[in-house]
């Protein structure tokens, strides 16, 4: 809980996007999702779009820098997707290594990793284990959100299907 309190002291807002991978894989069986619009790129683009929207509404005069951990195979797909959709509006995420970034950059990634873990744990507990009460640590992190905040998102089958249509993802051909 001490880590949660440190994060809460420095947190302005938290953002998180989760993708139901079961739904993604179902759609991927009949369409070329993995080849055209990977899960990483889809989730990261949705998160960046949400961050940019929030920033314009609440901190319009601030400079925005997006830090992403370097190394995922789909990072080039994210850049391509961002350029195609305008989600990034000229903003290029800064890819850093936890071992190669500044202390400030690495601390931001570590806090983001912790929040992502807590959100994923809550989602898994809810969807797989049927739990209806989240962990206390996630409750303490989420209580800093503004009332009515929509900075945490969940991407389901409908979102994946919509993405297929928007980005003209072709159907798989029968083998």
In DSSP notation, 98-167 reads TTTS-HHHHHHHHHHHHHHHHHHHHHHHHHTT---S--HHHHHHHTTSPTT---EEEE-HHHHHHHHHHT
Higher pLDDT, 83 or 133: 133
Containing structural domain, residue 86 = 2-166
Q: What percent of the chain has pLDDT over 90?
A: 11
Q: Is residue 148 part of a domain?
A: yes
Q: Is residue 140 part of a domain?
A: yes
- Total number of domains in the chain: 1
Q: Is residue 172 part of a domain?
A: no
Q: Is residue 174 part of a domain?
A: no
Q: Is residue 107 part of a domain?
A: yes
Q: Is residue 137 part of a domain?
A: yes
pLDDT grade for 72, boundaries at 50, 70 and 90: confident
Compute the average pLDDT of residues 35-54: 84
Residue 23: its pLDDT value, please? 94
Q: What is the pLDDT of residues 98-124, one digit of tens each?
A: 676 677 767 777 777 787 788 778 777
pLDDT grade for 88, boundaries at 50, 70 and 90: very low
Q: Is residue 106 part of a domain?
A: yes
- Report whether 33 contacts 170 (CB < 8 A): no
Q: Is residue 71 part of a domain?
A: yes
- Mean pLDDT (the chain) is 78
């Amino acid at each position: 809980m001490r880590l949660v309190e440190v994060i809460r002291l420095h947190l302005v807002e938290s953002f998180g996007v989760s993708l139901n991978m079961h739904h993604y894989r179902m759609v991927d069986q009949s369409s070329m999702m993995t080849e055209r619009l990977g899960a990483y790129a889809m989730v990261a683009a949705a998160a960046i779009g949400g961050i940019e929207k929030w920033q314009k509404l609440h901190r319009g005069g601030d400079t925005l820098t997006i830090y992403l951990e370097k190394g995922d195979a789909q990072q080039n797909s994210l850049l391509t997707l961002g350029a195609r959709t305008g989600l990034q509006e000229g903003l290029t995420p800064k890819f850093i290594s936890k071992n190669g970034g500044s202390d400030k950059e690495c601390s931001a990634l570590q806090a983001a990793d912790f929040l992502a873990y807590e959100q994923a744990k809550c989602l898994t507990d809810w969807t797989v284990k049927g739990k209806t009460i989240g962990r206390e640590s996630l409750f303490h992190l989420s209580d800093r959100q503004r009332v009515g905040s929509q900075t945490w998102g969940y991407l389901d089958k409908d979102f994946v299907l919509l993405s297929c249509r928007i980005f003209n993802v072709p159907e798989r051909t029968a083998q």
